[in-house]
A = this chain, B = another copy of it.
Amino acid sequence: MKRRLVNGSDTGGIALDDRGLAYGDGLFETMAATDGRVHHLELHLARLEEGCRRLGIPMPSPGLLEEECGRVLEGLGNGTVKLIVTRGPGPRSYRPPAEPRVTRIVTSAAPRARGDVLAPIAVRLCQTRLGQNPLLAGLKHLNRLEQVMACAEWDDPAVAEGLMLSMDGRMVCATAANVFVVIGGRLVTPAIRDCGVSGVMRQVVLMAASELGIPVGVEDLRPEILDTADEVFVTNAVAGIRPVGELVGARKWTVGEITRALVKSTTGVDA
């Protein structure tokens, strides 16, 4: 069983001058896997490719990445796979090397215990905000200090996620998830235009809603929308759809019909 590969080798390490470490100059994907197969691998690789294109990092061969994901899952079957792609080693300078030797890191882990997929979670509003820069928005890049600082705000294990606002006060996402609200029968998620990550599960949910005929909006949202939202859920690629049952100190929700329909549509679990 190989649980870690660096550039295809299970004994490789990270160079001290790797730009992923020096500058966060790279991208990552965290993916769920069942029976040795990564869920939505094409969508993860498409996002990675888009990130590579925007950052000017040569995209590794998708076939090679798929094969390496398979290797770290051998003997494990179910679990999560994390893929990091950096611009590789280089001399001390922000300037990207003319011919980068990209670093690929692929690791796997056993699945985390997960209870009832419809068990609602509690969330809070974070003080830490997201700086706005369209250049980096949407990408799952390695510059994640804002998310780290947001998660450092609380340690109550009963609170599963924190919602984050942009510097100009829009509700954008959770620390490690996208957020959706249902209001008046319409499913709405924040536009990812100058901060936040364009989640793969967000994309899956938007497609599923379309197929189910649920009216969908992708637009700027103020946090006050939570005052009147009928249903709220968050999404990420590993945990899927998690219904939000409580905004701590403010509101509670039961799991609604649109959330149930989307869980069923995306997991097959009859909710």
Chain A residues close to B by CB (< 8 Å): 4, 6, 13-14, 16-25, 28, 30, 55-56, 80, 82, 84, 86-87, 92-96, 98, 105, 107, 109, 128-133, 135-136, 141-152, 155, 167, 175-176, 195
Contacts and interface: CB of A to CB of B under 8 A. Distances in A.
A107 B18 CA distance: 13
Contacts of A84: 21-22
A16 B152 contact: no
Given A55-B149, A148-B94, A149-B55, A167 B132 contact: yes
Nearest to A137: B131
A21 B16 contact: no
Q: Which of A55, A131, A141, A144 has the most CB of B within 10 A?
A: A131
Given A13-B14, A94-B175, A96-B152, A144 B21 contact: no
Q: Which of A30, A98, A151 has the most CB of B within 10 A?
A: A151
A133 B146 contact: yes
29 contacts: A6-B16, A13-B13, A14-B18, A18-B21, A21-B84, A21-B86, A21-B142, A22-B28, A23-B143, A24-B24, A24-B142, A24-B145, A55-B149, A82-B92, A93-B176, A94-B176, A96-B151, A96-B152, A128-B135, A129-B133, A129-B135, A131-B131, A131-B195, A132-B132, A132-B167, A133-B146, A135-B146, A136-B146, A143-B144
B94 A109 contact: no
A25 B148 contact: yes
A4 B14 CA distance: 14
A151 B23 contact: no
Given A17-B107, A22-B142, A128-B135, 4 more contacts: A23-B148, A87-B148, A92-B109, A130-B133
Nearest to A95: B151
A82 B19 CA distance: 14
A58 to B, nearest CB: 13
B145 A145 contact: no
Given A96-B151, A152-B56, A16 B135 contact: no
Contacts of A133: 129-131, 146, 167
A165 to B, nearest CB: 12
A123 to B, nearest CB: 14
A150 B93 CA distance: 12
Contacts of A167: 132-133
B109 A151 contact: no
